[in-house]
Amino acid sequence: MFSNTIKAVRGALLDVRQVVHSPTELEDNLRYISDGLMVIDQGKVAWHGTWDKGRVLLPEDIRICDYRGKLIVPGFIDTHIHYPQMETVGAYGEQLIEWLNTYIFPTEQKYANKRYAREMAGLFVCELLKNGTTTAMVFCSVYPESVDALFEECDRRNMRIISGKVMMDRNAPEALQDTPESSYLDSRRLLQKWHKRNRLLYAITPRFAPTSSPEQLEKAMALREEFPDAYVQTHLSENENEVKWVKTLYPERKGYLDVYNHYGLTGERSIYAHCIHLSGEEWQTMAETDSSIAFCPTSNMYLGSGLFNYRKAINKGIRVGMATDIGAGTSFSLFETLNEAYKVVQLQKEKLPALEGFYRATLGGAHTLFLADLIGNFDIGKEADFVVLDPVATQVQQLRWDNSKTLDEKLFVLMTLGDDRNIYRTYVDGSLVYSCTR
């Protein structure tokens, strides 16, 4: 039945069967096998089901990775993160604009040095894998060297990563500014080099409207028209002062989102980080254009930006994925991110159940990035990115786990108390890329 290149893992398998459009659909689509088997062939899921049904299909001489007592889940998906900001995590005391000028812009200037960028890219990818993140949408810096460094590192591991060169021609230090023409030419060259090379994807990346002139956004639009299957990533309505600033820079536009919409940057495969201070019309535009939102709770609270209206976005049918937003975000862990997301939703008198959080970090994240046909669950033919979790990595987790009666309660323990210590193994493209050394 299988080729002679297969791998097999045994353990409790947990995923969501299909994309859902309402949280009420999640329970019916949860797929949990307490003693399961997954067979991987050439980086894809070849079979999964119960151990009893699957073991008779396996060759006698195959080695089975036995993870009984552990929980095997799809790899986590981070929909917005900055790799040049890894070394600024925990910078003190500022809100968005002051934080950029004080900490971020000086740090990003280091990434003109390819050797430095390569070293940081290696550390960054190791942190992703250590935290069970197998796919991420990543901001680089304005320098093409930073993009090459990250894509080279991810290609070596055959990771599915979306990234791109920041486009930024004003309101930043001169050393970090490009021009409309150079940003177009550099982005175009990088697109041709990296987009759809193995598992890599390219995102056209204007940092945010205040740092791009109208002429540069026209160039971003030209790239989108020339490469319609490329992604767009940027920031939107993170900070109230930022929103006011955009209005002074683009007075002819109806609002912040209208700037991007005017230049053809909304729509499928357009992912907007934050979206905290949207007007009613902007919420409608997000839904009508099928644009996506990256929910960045640790970053939003750390910079004092505000509370994202998660439940409103979901009720409007907008695609929402979870995002760490390193380095305003304070953890690479999607568990810690979900913990903070729960609190953001609580502060708005709503709930974020554990199963819904788990979905947002896996198949829901894939849906947000228009990748649900490739990753996010264990359907046969999907790319075999998955994580083996140790659900009781700490004494307190063990106590809470012992007192939890249902699967939902156990998932909630992971969602609120989990971190990188719960990541026992991480697999990318069917291959082991991280192993806990405890």
Per-residue 3-state assignment (H helix, E strand, C coil) for 35-98:
EEEEEEECCEEEEEEEHHHHHHHCCCCCCEEEEEEEEEEECEEEEEEEHHHHHHCCCCCCCHHH
- Please say if the pLDDT value at position 58 is more than 90: yes
- Please say if the pLDDT value at position 307 is more than 90: yes
Q: 361 lies in a domain? A: no
- Please say if the pLDDT value at position 286 is more than 80: yes
State residue 1's pLDDT score: 64
- Sole residue written with tokens 């297969």: 6
Q: 358 lies in a domain? A: no
- Rounded distance, CA 122 to CA 125, Å? 5
Contact partners, residue 344, CB within 8 Å, separation at least 6: 297, 300, 301, 307, 308, 310
State residue 102's pLDDT score: 96
Per-residue pLDDT, averaged over 83-98, amounts to 94
Q: 364 lies in a domain? A: no
The torsion angle over the Cα atoms of residues 72, 154, 326 and 130, rounded to 10 degrees, is: 40
Residues 338 and 288 in one domain: yes
Read off the pLDDT of residues 103-118 as tens digits, 9 standing for 90 and up. Answer: 999 999 999 999 999 9
Residues 289 and 425 in one domain: no
Read off the pLDDT of residues 33-51 as tens digits, 9 standing for 90 and up. Answer: 999 999 999 999 999 999 9
Q: 240 lies in a domain? A: yes
Reported confidence tier of residue 80, pLDDT bands at 50, 70, 90: very high
State residue 93's pLDDT score: 85
Q: What is the CATH number for 137?
A: 3.20.20.140
Q: Is residue 302 within a helix (H) or strand (E), and if so which, with residue range?
A: helix 297-302
Residues 137 and 218 in one domain: yes
- Sole residue written with tokens 């719960």: 422
As for how many domains the chain has, the answer is: 2
Q: What percent of the chain has pLDDT over 90?
A: 97
- Please say if the pLDDT value at position 167 is more than 90: yes
- Please say if the pLDDT value at position 438 is more than 70: no
85-94, 119-128, 134-143, 254-263 — which is least confidently predicted?
A: 85-94
Q: What is the CATH number for 416?
A: 2.30.40.10
Residues 309 and 397 in one domain: no
Residues 47 and 82 in one domain: no
Reported confidence tier of residue 173, pLDDT bands at 50, 70, 90: very high
Residues 39 and 148 in one domain: no
Q: pTM of this prediction?
A: 0.98
Q: 211 lies in a domain? A: yes
Residues 196 and 184 in one domain: yes
Residues 35 and 100 in one domain: no
Read off the pLDDT of residues 196-245 as tens digits, 9 standing for 90 and up. Answer: 999 999 999 999 999 999 999 999 999 999 999 999 999 999 999 999 99
Q: 421 lies in a domain? A: yes
State residue 437's pLDDT score: 76
Residues 68 and 88 in one domain: no
Residues 165 and 35 in one domain: no
Quote the domain boundaries for residue 65.
7-74+377-435
- Please say if the pLDDT value at position 12 is more than 90: yes
- Please say if the pLDDT value at position 355 is more than 70: yes
Q: 365 lies in a domain? A: no
Name the token pair of 270: 């357009």
Residues 68 and 120 in one domain: no
> Is 1 or 126 the better-scoring residue by pLDDT?
126
- Please say if the pLDDT value at position 4 is more than 80: no
Residues 399 and 335 in one domain: no
Neighbours of 186 (CB within 10 A): 18
What DSSP string runs through 351-377? ---HHHHHHHHTHHHHHHTT-TTTSSS
Q: What percent of the chain has pLDDT over 70?
A: 99
